[in-house]
Amino acid sequence: MWLHQQHNVRDIKLLNLLLKSPEPHARIAAQAVQHHWFNADPAVAAIGPEIVHQDKTQKSGILSDTKDLTTIRIATVVEKMKYDTPELTVKAGKKIKLIFANPEFMPHNIVLVNPGKLDAIAIQATTLGANGFAVGFVLESKEILWASKLLDHGKEETIEFTAPKKPGDYPYVCTFPGHHLLMRGVFRVE
């Protein structure tokens, strides 16, 4: 259905099927597409009430940096399949508090992986199919440093971790099927 949505081809039969899905995440996803197809049309949206504004007052990136703790925030961008923070630089071995926020309509996660492992991990997640919802599209792997939950629209999660001791470019990615090509960033450890 996301494929249909990306090409703006409305498949009402498929939409109605998913709106009745026993899987709650699938229903939420279908409601998001329904919103895009029937309420987010520019002519309709111009009227006003259906527009959902991104909260511009919420800053992302490095929020604070003390000797003991670096606090960062990464959010999704509404109606764009991407994170608002494409890269961040932190000190090796530093304690990090990450706030991950999803104001976007689709469910998204954020997974930090070892250098060079982004595509392998993301592709592995797509093999889960519908079973992926049960594990938030995250498979156990030694290449994964941590993973958020699969967050629905409007949710956020705080993740505390220690930055890797080994410097390098650690990618972060959304492993929801089809998202990893655009929904990625780099956590640079120095």
Residues that bind Cu ion (CB under 5 A): 108, 174, 176, 179, 183
List Cβ neighbours of 90 (8 Å cut-off, separation of 6 or more).
62, 70, 72, 96, 163, 187, 188, 189, 190
Complex with Cu ion: residue 12 or 120, whichever CB lies closer: 120
SS3 (DSSP) at 120: helix
State the minimum distance, in angstroms, from the CB of residue 23 to Cu ion.
Answer: 17
State the minimum distance, in angstroms, from the CB of residue 108 to Cu ion.
Answer: 3
Complex with Cu ion: residue 94 or 108, whichever CB lies closer: 108
State the minimum distance, in angstroms, from the CB of residue 128 to Cu ion.
Answer: 14
Answer yes or no: are the C-beta atoms of 149 and 174 closer than 8 Å. no
Which tokens go with 64? 């604070």
State the minimum distance, in angstroms, from the CB of residue 58 to Cu ion.
Answer: 18
Complex with Cu ion: residue 52 or 168, whichever CB lies closer: 52
State the minimum distance, in angstroms, from the CB of residue 137 to Cu ion.
Answer: 9
- DSSP assignment, residue 153? T
Q: What is each CA distance from 126 to 34, 57, 71, 112, in whole angstroms? A: 23, 34, 31, 17
Alpha helix positions (H), 48-152: 118-126
Complex with Cu ion: residue 25 or 108, whichever CB lies closer: 108
Complex with Cu ion: residue 17 or 182, whichever CB lies closer: 182
Q: Which residue is nearest to Cu ion (CB)?
A: 174
Rounded distance, CA 3 to CA 31, Å? 15
DSSP string, 13-48: HHHHHHHT-SSHHHHHHHHHHHHHHHT--HHHHTTS
